[in-house]
Amino acid sequence: MDIVTGVGVLDKAVLVLRAVAERPLSLAALQSTTGLPRATAHRLAVALETHGLLRRDDDGRFDLGPELASLGRVAAQRFPLADLALPVIEGLRDATGESAQLFVREGTARRCVLSLQSPHALRWIVPEGVLFPLDVGSAGRALSGSADAHWVESVEEREAGVASVSAPVTSPSGDVIAAVSVSGPIERMSRQPGRVFGDRVAAAAQSLSALL
């Protein structure tokens, strides 16, 4: 979601950052993606690079900079999302009987920041801290804002025999900041896991959004 604050240069700088967060971009691609004039896109990208918020990769494209990682660590320490989400994820795990996770977006990937295992002997285990592609699996689509309803499902997209349902967690301004998921074997989740667990996952995501 694009948010306009009325502070033009700030809005344009955030537009540049969000574009580069999707993938590293050359100046021409950055201009095309943002719709900014070439001179404006170049000026903002260079300024952000000077502050360490952007960097150049080996091909000369603009990519996210190290200062963002540093700020992200500080933000995570001051706003411990996983701690806040723990009771919600526990409730979801207990209500569904399946493994439940919380994912956040990290560039063009998604990282699991909280993972609680199903009590079943046959279960799908997602290690905390693991990094998965953003374009595969229900959590990735939820984080990308591509969920068509309150939840999104996937069946054997990343691993054979595994299904999942995810729902986006949004900030007060409407930005997607995390995804709540349940995942497990198709034998229990079925090939239509959203029909089985979609409402519960969406309700958990909404509860966490309300806590924010």
pLDDT 10s digits, 132-177: 888 889 999 999 886 667 999 999 988 889 999 999 999 888 889 9
- Say if 35 falls within a structural domain: yes
Q: Do 63 and 105 reside in the same domain of the chain?
A: no
3-class DSSP assignment, residue 170 = strand
Last residue of a domain, which of 73, 89, 113?
A: 73
Q: Do 27 and 52 reside in the same domain of the chain?
A: yes
Task: Name the least confident of 28-37, 149-158, 176-185, 187-196.
Answer: 149-158
Q: What is the pLDDT of residues 76-111, one digit of tens each?
A: 777 688 889 999 999 999 999 999 999 998 877 888
CA distances from 146 to 51, 139, 157, 176, 198 (A): 32, 10, 16, 11, 15
**pLDDT at residue number 4:** 58
Contacts of 144 (CB under 8 A, 6+ apart): 105, 134, 135, 176
Q: What is the pLDDT of residues 45-66, one digit of tens each?
A: 999 999 999 999 999 999 999 9
CA distances from 92 to 7, 137, 143, 172, 183 (A): 40, 19, 19, 22, 11
Task: Name the least confident of 44-53, 66-75, 97-106, 184-193.
Answer: 66-75
- Please state, rounded to an integer, the average pLDDT across all residues of the chain: 90
Q: Do 109 and 186 reside in the same domain of the chain?
A: yes
Residue 130, CB-side half-sphere exposure with 13 Å CA sphere: 9
Q: Output the six-digit token pair for 150.
A: 């309150």
**pLDDT at residue number 122:** 82
Angle formed by the axes of helices 27-34 and 38-50, nearest 10°:
110
Tell me the CATH number at 22: 1.10.10.10
Last residue of a domain, which of 51, 73, 95?
A: 73
Higher pLDDT, 207 or 128: 207
Give the 3-state secondary structure percentages of the chain, helix then strand then coil, rounded to 5: 45, 25, 35
Q: Do 56 and 159 reside in the same domain of the chain?
A: no
Q: Do 193 and 117 reside in the same domain of the chain?
A: yes
**Is-contact 189 197, C-beta < 8 A?**
yes
| Residue 25 belongs to domain spanning | 8-73
- Say if 3 falls within a structural domain: no
